[in-house]
Amino acid sequence: MRCKEVRSLFSTLMDGELCAEDKSSVEDHLCGCRACQAGLDELVHSREALRSHLSLRVSHGFEGRVLQAIGQAAGESTCAARRPMLEALIDFMQPGWRQIAASVAGALLLLYVTCAAAGLGFGSAVRSGRAEPGWLPEPQMVLEEPYRYFWYRGWRSDEQPQKRTHRSSEEIERCFDVIFS
């Protein structure tokens, strides 16, 4: 073994984690190399210095402070559990998330109003006899089943309603063309 290789094993040797074969090789080398032996002695000396100055006396009253802090933390978590869910949700939502949620809600509302203003029908409900032409569904109904209420304007009043419950993909595409054109 060369000196550099031997020195790289000093740390493991000091910890007694070196395998028997490597340990024997290192010890053989150390017998004939004063420089490496001095290097190992210095490493051991610095470790002893470190070990003897690593302890700190914990200040009086440390446990009391920790237990008090834990008591406060426990009280806060209990209070938090009792708060209404909505309030907790608002607290949880960071300002960034609030802005995103508000933007999404605004966009949905705008879409709904635009559809209504453009006369986009809600043919399914009309055809099924649940409503008269010109009827507007509640926003909650649109949110729950948006595909049911977006429909082509012609079906609302001018054309004969057809008894269909499913739309073809072409019809759906045409519908979105109208909405977003």
CB of 39 to another protein, least distance (A): 9
CA distances from 70 to 64, 66, 73 (A): 10, 6, 5
Minimum CB separation of residue 103 from another protein in Å reads 33
94 interacts with another protein by CB under 8 A? no
Shortest distance, position 52 Cβ to another protein, whole Å: 8
SS (H, E, C) 101-170: HHHHHHHHHHHHHHHHHCCCCCHHHHHCCCCCCCCCCCHHHHHHCHHHHCCCHHHCCCCCCCCCCCCCHH
Secondary structure (3-state) at 89: helix
Does residue 58 belong to the site contacting another protein (CB under 8 A)?
yes
Q: For residue 81, state whether it binds another protein (rule: CB under 8 A).
A: no
Q: Within the chain, how many helices (H) and strands (E) appear?
A: 11, 0
Q: In this structure, are residues 1 and 26 in contact, taking their beta carbons and an 8 Å threshold?
A: yes
The pair of structure tokens assigned to 49 is 């210095």
- The smaller minimum CB distance to another protein, of residues 55 and 181, is found at 55
* Contact pattern for another protein over residues 9 through 38, marking x by CB under 8 A: -xxx-xxxx-x-------------------
51 binds another protein (CB under 8 A): yes
Instruction: Supply the minimum distance, in Å, between the C-beta of residue 32 and another protein.
Output: 22
**Phi-psi category of 61—alpha, beta or left, where left has phi over 0 and alpha has psi -120 to 50?**
left
Instruction: Check residue 56 for interaction with another protein (CB under 8 A).
Output: yes
Where along the sequence are the contacts to another protein (CB under 8 A)?
8, 10-12, 14-17, 19, 42-43, 46-47, 49-56, 58-59, 62-63, 65-67, 69-70, 73-74, 77
